[in-house]
Amino acid sequence: MLVDWVVVGLDNGGTTNNGTILDSAGRFLLDRLAEVPSDVREGPDKAIESLVVSVEQVLGLTGVPITAVRAVGLDTPGPASGDGVISSKGATNFGHVGWRGFDIRSALAERLGLPVIYNNDGNSAALYAHHVRFGTESGQRSSVAAIVGTGLGGGIIQAGQIVRGAAGMAGELGHVPIPLDDLLDVGQPMPACNCGQSGDAESVASLTGIQNNLLPYWLTRYQGHELSGLPIGKAAKLVRKYAEDGDEMALAIFRQQAIALGRLFTIAANFLDPDAYFLGGGVVEAASHFRDWFFAEVRANTALREEQVRASEISLVPDLDMAGARGSAYAARDWFIDQGQQVPPGASLSPGRRDEHDHGEAGRLIALVVVPMRAAGRKAGALTGADLMALACHRHCQGA
């Protein structure tokens, strides 16, 4: 296959890695999942090798040589830092003790001799949804994606870029507290989240929320319900099927989830006023009559101003099983293009320093300062340490 350059996207999950490949023209060279076992339970060494196998697999399937690869996008489930360091307290998917505080991004970059761009899986899926919807206008648009699964994942995209935040914790939509008035039933206990909060979006709008909070309560209201005879974990997974079949209790549970998601989008509307609100997760793949009802309930509970209704849309995240890998590939491509395509293959062998390139806050700050200085007759780029000191003083001293 004749290509000038490509990026590889990898979605690392609890059991499998999913890989894809995106060329310089923005075309995916694979139209389906390319999966290998992720081996994450066996610890970092084995799992890094499995990610390398994943890269080799997509190259093998497409006939693209490794020399054409300019960057690799990687996502994993959290919690991890914005730069791919797995939480020191461990994580659900990273139970092996070797994962604690492990820098998965740098380790893969070192092993491959290529830049690796890391995002959590919710952010990658959000970036994918954004690109699919906005295409060539992605860079001018913003969106918020809420993806309902075991937890409530997602992300925020602003001007085509994932909003990562100072500590890599932006876009944790699941842990945004939401108003619960007229959402909870009279006497229903306050829903608790694994993060330690009560009444955040994930405590209601997730499979875990159904299992820990919603279903145990609603089973007390529907005594003798078929699901009451099953272990709670098993019963929680069946609630959607019951809702598809029109079961009253299951619909009450999903109505609470829809209200929570609508209120979350309402917060997003006031905070970010995005072009699009994306909804994803298992419910998207549900029977169409149920999906449409759920989607309508979310919309009905999203309070937008008239101007916002005209300017924005609420829609479903497509192709969720490929969203992580494809979003990771977009992140790698965006990063490479931002470098002015100056990274030749194998030239970026210094892993662990991506922050210098891509967070760019310092660079942005300088750019903002350069404009008035040019107007004052000084050369752009002639910013000195003294100027920066003066700027710092200006900001602090003016504010005092």
Footprint of Zn ion on this chain (CB under 5 A)? 175, 193, 195, 197, 200, 202
- We find the least distance from the C-beta atom of residue 269 to Zn ion, in angstroms, to be 21
User: Which CB atom, from 78 or from 82, has the smaller least distance to Zn ion?
Assistant: 78
Nearer to Zn ion, 193 or 283 (CB): 193
- CA–CA separation, 175 and 153 (whole Å): 9
The dihedral region occupied by 234, where left means phi > 0, alpha psi between -120 and 50, and beta the remainder, is alpha
CA distance 355 to 358: 5
Token pair belonging to 107 = 């380790």
Distance in angstroms (rounded) separating the CA atoms of residues 115 and 349: 7
Shortest CB 175 distance to Zn ion, Å:
4
**Smallest separation (angstroms) from Zn ion to the CB of 172:** 8
Q: Which is nearer to Zn ion, 83 or 200 (CB)?
A: 200
Specify the 3-state DSSP secondary structure of 313.
strand
Pairing of strands 161-162, 313-316: unpaired
Identify whether the C-beta of residue 279 lies closer than 8 Å to the C-beta of residue 298: yes
Q: Can you spell out the DSSP letters for 323-339?
A: HHHHHHHHHHHHHHHHT
Q: In the complex with Zn ion, which residue's Cβ is closer, 75 or 200? A: 200
C-beta of 204: minimal distance to Zn ion in Å? Answer: 10
Q: Between 62 and 208, name the residue whose CB sits nearer to Zn ion.
A: 208
State which residue, 111 or 175, has the beta carbon closest to Zn ion: 175
CB of 196 to Zn ion, least distance (A): 7
Q: Which is nearer to Zn ion, 188 or 197 (CB)?
A: 197
- The smaller minimum CB distance to Zn ion, of residues 79 and 262, is found at 79
Least CB distance to Zn ion at residue 213 (A): 11
For 1, the 3-state DSSP assignment is coil
CA dist., res. 90 & res. 79, Å (int): 8
φ and ψ at residue 51, rounded to 5 degrees:
-70, -35
- Count how many Cα atoms sit within 13 Å of the Cα of residue 113 in the half-sphere of its side chain: 7
CB of 208 to Zn ion, least distance (A): 9
**In the complex, minimum distance from the CB of residue 79 to Zn ion, in angstroms, rounded to a whole number:** 11
Task: Please identify, using beta-carbon distances, which residue of 138 and 211 lies nearer to Zn ion.
Answer: 211
Spatial distance between the Cα atoms of 78 and 119, rounded to a whole number of angstroms: 9
Whichever of 202 and 275 has its CB closer to Zn ion, that residue is: 202
d(CA 236, CA 252): 13
Q: Which two tokens stand for residue 118?
A: 């890391």
Q: 121-134 vs 320-338: helix axis angle to the nearest 10?
A: 80
- CA–CA separation, 386 and 270 (whole Å): 39
Residues 6+ apart with CB under 8 A from 388: 366
Cα angle: 73, vertex 74, 80; to 5 degrees: 135
CB of 44 to Zn ion, least distance (A): 27
The amino acid occupying position 62 is T
Please state the closest distance from residue 182 (CB atom) to Zn ion, in A: 21
